[in-house]
């Protein structure tokens, strides 16, 4: 896939997200004209971009939606929830279309034609009684009404006769009006080139849409043209030719009655040149310029003779012009001077220019620079636009460089970089971390093995420098990888809306802290768990409107998603004001399924019972649906969060609501671990789970219900032996004071003491997940390379304690 297509897909996805969010805003405030204008602009841009890549099916769907939004914007159609559904369906189709292109590089067979049901449903809004005027379809299948009913008065007589002859022969003739978008050059459209490709043009006229601005204020990169054409072709070919700019083109079939009827007012034709072919007009103008350059030569010099032959050949197909030309040539021969011929040419060209309409005098300079386009009634402004398409890239770059904010300061430039390149930089940072961790080992060897204390001191000094640079590099790359939580939260307004409508509930979604940033990998890891949590909250937590009213609550429930940063973690809180979780109901469900022993259930408090929702296979749904009831739920969510080093905490009150907090590290790129020793081996424990390290006297250990425990700071903490959990036969080592090395860890909200042999400090490591058969081992997060080249196994305490 080429880079341009990748950029189109990326920008289109961003546009789709903005379209969906704006539609939801319109649902809440249907009269918001600013939102409607923004929505129309987004769809118009997306449609224009799709035309650049030859996706007619996508363009037609977007054009149908654009017509509907234009009707709403103009007050011809009222915005409603049902209309929003249709427009959201349009957005869904565009999303699927982009998925297809991204996967295969081009749309497949199923995407070559637009979905008839979708386009018909959108077009039906334009044909309903709610709209008072008609809108032309994306690719016109009916004649569009043009705004100038007396346009035939402007046709030269020769063109009128030619059109009448074609109509009598049964040929189709159409009048076309093309008004290019003002920013068409930046969309890759060259209007003049597009028109030049049309066959059998009988007449054309180009005029400005708005009066031309003074030269100092004229923006040469804004198209300000109206192009009118009369040509003989089939309507299908016309629709195909203008398929990518169909919203900018209208046409009507020319009838014989409109051509042969007497015009309301007879235009005064002072120039026979106004009826000639555009190419002939260009030749005549060129020869006039050439003749003026050789007026001082004796009559009928070699150059003048060539000019006379060229004019005679060019005018040979126009009897009236050829007669006038011959008369002026005879007079020139009689006088032996080129003056009569020059006078006739000047008179004809001046008369032709005056008939073309008023032209802003400042634009003549642009014509001289850009060159002239062959047209019988070409205006200097049109010629100025001819050179525009070649200058567009420079203009776009210049405009971007000049872009300023409201305060007059130049806004920061944005450089889009592929994720793979950032990931590679992150991997290189990891290699630097591993390399700099080797310096302390070198210093130790220099001092202890070779007795080079001064050398060891210098190595340690250099280590401090390298360590600082590595940390700065890591922080800089981390800032590049950081992205706002809104990246994942922006999908929920649509999700909540659709689920609420499906369940018949009224829900107000509140998003807070969308600017909170975290590493891209963390943000992406949040997506699926959050979707599942929100669906559960909508299905199980929030009540139906009538149920809420009976409970003394507003009929509209509130679902709040809040994000904030806490030290080196990001915390996502999801809370609702629904029915809450009933611990006794959880207890009954667990007992009926035999997920927990009866004695253990009876000993649990309310919070412990609520936490049972994380048991595999647990569900409170009475019926299986596409939302819930299949027993694959909160346990999967918790596993996904814990896999990236996060934690979950659930709290609830019956009748008041439920709150679920997700705590995740800001990044997993570089992890800090504490190196420990147990059973003669070294392991790493993630520092974010380490609460404290202490020396525990052996006499302080007590057994309660076959579980070793210890009192620490007024709390009873269960103890685990790492050697026992790893099936190492060796007993944990005591120091000379008969004390164990104890790590107090937090696992799933509970404190657990892990007895080990010794501590060896903390280091930064790059965590590499284990793959293959080793990846199936529980209790391990992955591996890391130490500074001396050895491999450090990183433990996952949460899995070890299960």
Q: Indicate whether 489 and 628 sit together in one domain.
A: yes
Geometric angle at alpha carbon 638, from 636 and 640, rounded to 5°: 70
The tokens for 490 are 């922006």
Position 618 in a domain: yes
Question: Any bridge partners for residue 756, and if so which?
Answer: 741
The tokens for 328 are 């002026």
Integer angstrom CA distances of residue 554 from 27, 510, 549, 577, 791: 20, 16, 6, 10, 59
pLDDT at 615 over 50: yes
> How would DSSP label each residue in 241-288?
HTGGGGGGEEEEEPPHHHHHSPPSS------GGGGS-HHHHHHHHHHH
Q: Number of helices (H) and strands (E), helices first, in the chain?
A: 28, 22
Distance, in Å, from the CA atom of 87 to the CA atom of 341, rounded to the nearest integer, reads: 65
Query: Highest-confidence range of 22-36, 387-401, 563-577, 762-776, by mean pLDDT?
Result: 563-577
Name the H helices within 74-213: 81-104, 116-127, 157-168, 191-196
Selected residue with higher pLDDT from 397 and 513: 513
Selected residue with higher pLDDT from 52 and 632: 52
Backbone phi and psi for residue 213, each to the nearest 5 degrees, phi listed first = -75, 160
Q: What is the CA radius of gyration of the chain?
A: 39
Q: How many CB atoms lie within 10 A of CB 70?
A: 18
pLDDT at 402 over 60: no
Cα four-point dihedral sign 598, 600, 606, 611: negative
User: Which region, left, alpha or beta, applies to residue 334 given φ > 0 means left and ψ of -120 to 50 means alpha?
Assistant: alpha
pLDDT at 277 over 50: yes
Position 155 in a domain: no
Give the residue from 429, 444, 477 where a domain finishes.
477
Query: What CATH number is attached to the domain comprising 759?
Result: 2.40.50.180
Backbone phi and psi for residue 696, each to the nearest 5 degrees, phi listed first = -110, 120
Predicted local confidence at residue 317, as pLDDT: 62
Q: Indicate whether 692 and 619 sit together in one domain.
A: no
- Residue 304 contacts by C-beta under 8 Å, 6 or more apart in sequence? 291, 294, 297, 338
Predicted local confidence at residue 384, as pLDDT: 35
Distance, in Å, from the CA atom of 145 to the CA atom of 167, rounded to the nearest integer, reads: 20
User: Up-side HSE of residue 685: CA atoms within 13 Å toward CB?
Assistant: 30
Position 649 in a domain: yes
Confidence category of residue 412, pLDDT binned at 50, 70, 90 = low
Q: Indicate whether 711 and 651 sit together in one domain.
A: no
Nearest to 793 by CA among 764, 770, 760: 770
Nearest to 68 by CA among 15, 134, 24, 18: 134
Give the residue from 459, 477, 495 where a domain finishes.
477
Predicted local confidence at residue 625, as pLDDT: 52
- Residue 639: in which H helix or E strand, if any? helix 634-643
Selected residue with higher pLDDT from 5 and 626: 5
Position 212 in a domain: no
pLDDT at 629 over 60: no
Predicted local confidence at residue 261, as pLDDT: 53
Distance, in Å, from the CA atom of 189 to the CA atom of 172, rounded to the nearest integer, reads: 27
Q: What is the mean pLDDT of residues 600-613?
A: 84
Position 101 in a domain: yes
Give pLDDT tens digits for 158-193. 788 888 878 777 778 888 888 888 888 877 788 888
Confidence category of residue 668, pLDDT binned at 50, 70, 90 = low
Question: Any bridge partners for residue 740, and if so which?
Answer: 696
Give pLDDT tens digits for 765-797. 877 777 777 777 778 888 888 877 788 899 988
Buried b / exposed e over 160-178, threshold 16 CB at 10 Å, is bebbbebbeeeeebbbbbb
Q: What is the mean pLDDT of residues 376-398?
A: 35
Distance, in Å, from the CA atom of 181 to the CA atom of 356, rounded to the nearest integer, reads: 23
Position 113 in a domain: yes
Nearest to 763 by CA among 691, 681, 682: 682
Q: Indicate whether 39 and 111 sit together in one domain.
A: yes
How many domains are contained in the chain? 4
- In the chain, what percentage of residues exceed pLDDT 70? 81
Nearest to 675 by CA among 753, 589, 790: 790
- In the chain, what percentage of residues exceed pLDDT 90? 9
**710 and 697 Cβ atoms separated by less than 8 Å:** no
Q: What is the mean pLDDT of residues 68-97?
A: 85
Q: Indicate whether 524 and 621 sit together in one domain.
A: yes
Distance, in Å, from the CA atom of 486 to the CA atom of 83, rounded to the nearest integer, reads: 26
Distance, in Å, from the CA atom of 351 to the CA atom of 448, rounded to the nearest integer, reads: 103
Q: What is the mean pLDDT of residues 664-673?
A: 75
Q: Indicate whether 509 and 638 sit together in one domain.
A: yes
Distance, in Å, from the CA atom of 88 to the CA atom of 83, rounded to the nearest integer, reads: 9
Q: Indicate whether 645 and 498 sit together in one domain.
A: yes
Distance, in Å, from the CA atom of 544 to the CA atom of 575, rounded to the nearest integer, reads: 17
**Strand 671-678 with 681-686, pairing:** antiparallel
**180 and 241 Cβ atoms separated by less than 8 Å:** no
Give the residue from 102, 127, 152 where a domain finishes.
127
Q: Indicate whether 469 and 540 sit together in one domain.
A: no
Position 315 in a domain: no
Position 544 in a domain: yes
- Residue 748: in which H helix or E strand, if any? none
Predicted local confidence at residue 352, as pLDDT: 61
Query: What CATH number is attached to the domain comprising 22?
Result: 1.20.120.160
Query: What CATH number is attached to the domain comprising 495?
Result: 3.30.565.10
Integer angstrom CA distances of residue 519 from 479, 516, 523: 8, 11, 6
**Predicted TM-score of the model (pTM):** 0.53
Distance, in Å, from the CA atom of 650 to the CA atom of 637, rounded to the nearest integer, reads: 12
Nearest to 84 by CA among 147, 7, 32, 13: 32
Distance, in Å, from the CA atom of 631 to the CA atom of 620, rounded to the nearest integer, reads: 9
Buried b / exposed e over 14-23, threshold 16 CB at 10 Å, is ebbbbbbbbb
Distance, in Å, from the CA atom of 177 to the CA atom of 387, rounded to the nearest integer, reads: 22
pLDDT at 404 over 70: no
Predicted local confidence at residue 775, as pLDDT: 73
Q: What is the mean pLDDT of residues 675-690?
A: 89
Give pLDDT tens digits for 514-531. 888 888 878 888 888 888
Geometric angle at alpha carbon 647, from 641 and 652, rounded to 5°: 105
643 by Cβ neighbours in 10 Å (0-12 / 13-18 / 19+) ranks as middle
Backbone phi and psi for residue 568, each to the nearest 5 degrees, phi listed first = -100, 30
Buried b / exposed e over 397-422, threshold 16 CB at 10 Å, is eeeeeeeeeeeeeeeeeeeeeeeeee
Structural domain range at position 26: 3-127
Distance, in Å, from the CA atom of 573 to the CA atom of 513, rounded to the nearest integer, reads: 10
Q: Indicate whether 632 and 685 sit together in one domain.
A: no
Predicted local confidence at residue 470, as pLDDT: 83
Selected residue with higher pLDDT from 757 and 121: 757
Question: 3-state SS of 20-78?
Answer: HHHHHHHHHCCCCHHHHHHHHHHHHHHHHHHHHCCCHHHHHHHHHHHHHHHHHHCCCCC
Backbone phi and psi for residue 115, each to the nearest 5 degrees, phi listed first = -65, 120
274 by Cβ neighbours in 10 Å (0-12 / 13-18 / 19+) ranks as buried
- Residue 591: in which H helix or E strand, if any? helix 583-593
Distance, in Å, from the CA atom of 349 to the CA atom of 281, rounded to the nearest integer, reads: 9
The tokens for 148 are 């100038």
Average pLDDT, rounded, for the chain: 77
pLDDT at 627 over 60: no
Give pLDDT tens digits for 430-452. 778 778 878 888 888 888 888 88
Integer angstrom CA distances of residue 144 from 119, 120, 140, 250: 19, 18, 8, 6
Cα four-point dihedral sign 104, 107, 109, 111: positive
Confidence category of residue 676, pLDDT binned at 50, 70, 90 = very high
Q: Indicate whether 464 and 613 sit together in one domain.
A: no
Question: Any bridge partners for residue 763, and if so which?
Answer: 673
**303 and 292 Cβ atoms separated by less than 8 Å:** no
Predicted local confidence at residue 528, as pLDDT: 82
Q: Indicate whether 645 and 688 sit together in one domain.
A: no
Predicted local confidence at residue 561, as pLDDT: 93
pLDDT at 467 over 60: yes
Q: Indicate whether 122 and 9 sit together in one domain.
A: yes
Predicted local confidence at residue 37, as pLDDT: 81
Any idea how long the chain is? 802
**712 and 662 Cβ atoms separated by less than 8 Å:** no
């Amino acid at each position: 896939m080429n880079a341009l297509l990748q950029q189109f897909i990326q920008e289109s996805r961003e546009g789709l997200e903005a379209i969906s969010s704006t539609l939801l805003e319109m649902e809440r405030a249907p009269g918001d004209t600013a939102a409607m204008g923004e929505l129309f602009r987004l769809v118009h841009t997306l449609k224009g971009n799709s035309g650049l890549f030859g996706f007619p099916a996508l363009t037609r769907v977007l054009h149908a939606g654009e017509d509907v939004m234009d009707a709403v914007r103009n007050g011809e159609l009222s915005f409603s929830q049902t209309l929003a559904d249709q427009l959201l369906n349009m957005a869904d189709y565009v999303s699927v279309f982009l998925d297809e292109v991204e996967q295969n590089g081009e749309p497949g067979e199923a995407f070559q034609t637009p979905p008839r049901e979708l386009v018909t449903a959108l077009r039906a809004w334009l044909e309903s009684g709610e709209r008072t005027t008609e809108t032309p379809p994306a690719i016109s299948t009916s004649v569009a009404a043009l705004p100038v009913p007396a346009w035939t008065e402007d046709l030269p007589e020769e063109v009128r006769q030619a059109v009448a002859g074609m109509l009598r022969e049964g040929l189709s003739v159409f009048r076309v009006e093309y008004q290019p978008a003002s920013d068409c050059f930046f969309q890759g459209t060259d209007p003049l080139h597009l028109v030049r490709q049309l066959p059998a043009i009988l007449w054309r006229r180009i005029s400005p849409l708005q009066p031309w601005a003074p030269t100092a204020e004229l923006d040469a990169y804004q198209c300000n043209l109206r192009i009118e054409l009369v040509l003989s072709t089939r309507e299908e070919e016309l629709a195909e030719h203008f398929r990518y700019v169909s919203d900018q083109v209208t046409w009507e079939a020319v009838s014989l009655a409109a051509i042969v009827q007497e015009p309301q007012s007879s235009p005064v034709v002072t120039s026979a040149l106004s009826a000639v072919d555009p190419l002939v007009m260009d030749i005549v103008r060129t020869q006039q310029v050439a003749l003026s350059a050789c007026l001082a030569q004796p009559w009928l010099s070699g150059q003048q003779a060539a000019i006379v032959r060229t004019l005679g050949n060019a005018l040979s197909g126009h009897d009236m012009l050829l007669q006038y030309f011959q008369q002026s040539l005879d007079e020139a021969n009689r006088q032996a001077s080129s003056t009569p011929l020059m006078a006739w040419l000047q008179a004809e060209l001046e008369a032709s220019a005056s008939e073309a309409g008023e032209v802003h005098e400042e634009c003549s300079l642009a014509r001289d620079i850009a060159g002239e386009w062959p047209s019988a009634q070409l205006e200097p402004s049109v010629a100025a636009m001819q050179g525009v398409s070649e200058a567009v890239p420079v203009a776009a770059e210049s405009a971007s460089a000049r872009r300023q904010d409201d305060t007059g300061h130049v806004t920061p430039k944005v450089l889009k970089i592929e994720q793979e390149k950032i990931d590679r930089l992150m991997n290189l940072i990891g290699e630097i971390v591993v390399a700099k961790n080797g310096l302390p080992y070198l210093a130790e060897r220099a001092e202890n093995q070779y007795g080079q204390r001064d050398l060891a001191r210098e190595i340690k000094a250099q280590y401090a420098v390298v360590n600082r640079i590595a940390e700065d590099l890591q922080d800089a790359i981390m800032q590049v990888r950081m992205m706002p939580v809104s990246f994942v939260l922006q999908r929920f307004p649509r999700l909540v809306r659709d689920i609420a409508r499906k369940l018949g509930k009224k829900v107000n979604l509140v998003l807070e802290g969308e600017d909170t940033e975290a590493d891209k990998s963390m943000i992406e890891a949040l997506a699926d768990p959050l979707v599942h949590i929100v669906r559960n909250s909508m299905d199980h937590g929030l009540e139906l409107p009538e149920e809420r009213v009976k409970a003394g609550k507003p009929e509209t429930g509130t679902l709040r998603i809040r994000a904030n940063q806490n030290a080196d973690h990001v915390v996502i809180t999801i809370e609702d004001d629904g029915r809450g979780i009933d611990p006794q109901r959880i207890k009954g469900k667990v007992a009926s399924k035999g997920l927990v022993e009866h004695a253990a259930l009876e000993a649990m408090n309310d919070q412990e019972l609520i936490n049972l929702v994380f048991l595999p296979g647990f569900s409170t749904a009475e019926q299986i649906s596409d939302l819930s009831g299949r027993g694959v739920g909160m346990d999967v969510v918790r596993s996904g969060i814990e896999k990236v080093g996060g934690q979950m905490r659930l709290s609830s009150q019956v009748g008041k609501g439920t709150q679920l907090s997700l705590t995740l590290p800001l990044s997993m790129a570089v992890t800090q671990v504490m190196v420990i020793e147990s059973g003669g081996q070294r392991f790493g424990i993630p520092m974010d789970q380490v609460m404290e390290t202490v020396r525990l006297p052996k006499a302080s250990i007590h057994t309660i219900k076959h579980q070793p425990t210890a009192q620490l700071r007024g709390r009873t903490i269960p103890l685990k032996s790492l050697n026992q959990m790893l099936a190492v036969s060796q007993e944990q080592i005591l120091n000379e004071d008969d004390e164990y090395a104890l790590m107090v860890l937090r696992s799933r909200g509970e404190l657990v003491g892990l007895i080990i042999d010794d501590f060896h400090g903390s280091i930064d490591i790059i965590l590499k997940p284990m793959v293959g058969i080793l990846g199936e081992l529980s209790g391990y997060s992955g591996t890391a390379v130490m500074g001396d080249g050895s491999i450090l196994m990183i433990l996952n305490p949460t899995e070890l304690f299960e």
